[in-house]
Structures are given as structure tokens and as C-alpha cells.
Amino acid sequence: MATYILRRVAWAVVASLIVLTLTFLLLYFTPDTQLAQLQFQAAQAGDDPEAIGAAYESYHGYDQPIHVQYIEYMGNMLSLDWGWSETRSQPVTTAIAEAIPYSMMYAVPSILISSVLGVAIGLYSATNQYTRGDYAATFFAFFGLSIPDFWFGIVLFVLFSGILGWVPIIFDTTAATFSLENLAQFILPIVVLTLSSIASLMRYSRAEALEYVEAEFVKTAKAKGVGDWRVLTRHIFRPASVPIATILVGDLLGIILVSSYLIEVVFGIPGLGTLSFEAIRDQDTSLVMGTVLLPAFLTIVGNLAQDIAYTILDPRIDYGDS
């Protein structure tokens, strides 16, 4: 098992290196907007654009051979020197570090609520299949899956901020993290994000648990005299948790990373999504790279966690090192 985990970690490192290398190559072949701007200004001022260009490239090390640039780039990445954001006049890592708390303020509650509630409702649906409760949960799930985040967010925003005035319209960054004021401005994003991520978890948990509700070993447990609750938690949920762990990490992460763009822009939250969105809009190359790399690493870490979760949850997986 130790060997297996080490191998998974090694693969995660390899995957990270591939992501970094691809990013480097993309950047290497991308025309530099700043260089173009400098040369344009130089030409307007009557200077030699070529000389300015050469000076710029030599200043940034862009005249070096590709492998030297690559090593330099990788060194910077590993030492968390992710470049300078021109639009924000601060290091990329600082900009990201400032944005992360705002994203977490709605993502963490949303992940917790949707994983706990999603699995719980899914299990309820499975054990009470084709009852009114199951139909209600199914309706809720398909509603959450079908409705676009940004649209639902706008509707809620208009209703509760604009018409009813229950939650603030302008996002206030000065509100303390654990305050009612902060809760009021985060409640709608949490609801929207939870709704979209809970649905797939619910349906998935339901399908997985259903597979085990009918399983022979569940009948064995019942025949042994195991009560309903223990049958559900120990004999159905426990084996079902193996496949559910997949969606919990992988899918949830994906939904939240994608949704964060839409939700943050709609609600004006200065989190990672907004940061990335503005960086792309303003062609701030270093910042775009930083905000794209972070989710990529998160996904790699998530997949690693998922692989390790499998080995802990399912004794049938052969580690190949015994």
C-alpha cells in the first residue's frame, strides 16, 4: 500500500510537470502584448523599435535559448515566483493569495453542505425508491442540474437584493469573515453553487446505493438482525462510499472551479474566478497563467486524494506490491 501511494504521488508530480511544461510552451509561442506595446510607443516616439525590442527581450531573458528559459521558468514556478501582474501591480502569487479567502468563503460551506446533504438525500432516495420523497428529491436534483448557475444567480440576486432588499447589492470586502453581514452577502452564492453540485452527488449516491440496497449481503445483514439504520450506514453506505468518493473529489472540484467564474462575476465577489476573468479580459498574461495553474494543481491533488481514498475504502483493490 505504501508503494502504491508513493507511485500515485510520483504520477501526480509528473502530471504537474507536464502541466507546467505545456504552459511554458504556450507562453513561449504567444506573441507578447507588452513587447508590441513598447515597440509601438518607441516607433511613435521616433526610436528604433527593434532596439527597444532587443533590450526588452534581453531584460526579461527572452533572448536566451529555449532550454535556458525553460529551466529558469521551472525554477521560478517551484520557488513560487509566478511573475508580476501588470494590471494589478503586484506579484501574481500575492494577487491569488488575496483572492483565495473570498472563494473559500462560499466554496467551503457549499462543498460541505452539498456532500453531506447530497449523499444523505441520495441514500434516502435509494432506500425509499419510488416514494414521494424520492420523487421530490429527483425533481430537486434535475432542477439543480438543468438550471444554469449564472441565470439562477441573477434571478435570486434580483429577487432578494433588488426587490426584497434582504441581502446587500454591493459586495463589501470589509465585512468580517464570521459575521452575519458576511453570511448575508454569501448566502446566495452558497445556495446557487450548492444547488448545482448537490444534484449530481444526489443522483450518483442514489444510483450507487441502489446497487447495494438490493445486494445479497444487505439481505444477509437484515437476516442477521441488523437494524435499518445500521444496514444503511454500515452495509449500504460503506461499500457505496467507494464510487461516491470519486465524484466527491473529482466532480465536485470541477463543478466548483467552473461555477466560481460565473458566480463570482454575477455576485461581484473578488475571488479567484473574478481575478482570472479580469486577467483574461485585460490580457494580463502572468496572472492568467497563475489563475489557470492553480485549478490545474488542485485537480491533480484531488485525483491523488481520490486514488488514495480508494485504497483505504475498498479492500479488494490490489496494490501490486504485496
Binding residues for another protein (CB under 8 A): 214-217, 219-228, 235, 238-239, 242, 313-316
Cβ atoms within 10 Å of 135's Cβ, excluding its own: 13
Q: Which is nearer to another protein, 85 or 127 (CB)?
A: 127
Q: Which is nearer to another protein, 182 or 311 (CB)?
A: 311
Least distance from C-beta 112 to another protein, angstroms? 25
Q: Which is nearer to another protein, 72 or 314 (CB)?
A: 314
| Nearest residue to 34 (alpha-carbon basis) of 76, 74, 3, 62 | 62
**Cβ contacts of 196 within 8 Å, gap of 6 or more:** 144, 145, 147, 149, 255, 259
Let me know if 99 is exposed, middle or buried by CB neighbors in 10 A (0-12, 13-18, 19+).
buried
Q: Which is nearer to another protein, 206 or 235 (CB)?
A: 235
Least distance from C-beta 313 to another protein, angstroms? 7
Let me know if 215 is exposed, middle or buried by CB neighbors in 10 A (0-12, 13-18, 19+).
middle
Q: Which is nearer to another protein, 67 or 316 (CB)?
A: 316
Least distance from C-beta 303 to another protein, angstroms? 22
| Nearest residue to 202 (alpha-carbon basis) of 129, 263, 282, 116 | 116
Q: Which is nearer to another protein, 243 or 273 (CB)?
A: 243
Q: Which is nearer to another protein, 158 or 312 (CB)?
A: 312
Least distance from C-beta 119 to another protein, angstroms? 16
CA distances from 154 to 147, 163, 182 (A): 12, 12, 19
Least distance from C-beta 318 to another protein, angstroms? 10
Least distance from C-beta 232 to another protein, angstroms? 13
CB 262 within 8 A of CB 150: yes
Least distance from C-beta 231 to another protein, angstroms? 10
CA distances from 78 to 71, 75, 292, 302 (A): 11, 5, 16, 20
The distance from CA 156 to its chain's CA centroid, rounded to whole angstroms, is 23
Q: Give the Cα separation of 42 and 44 in Å (integer).
A: 5
Amino acid in the structure at residue 196: S
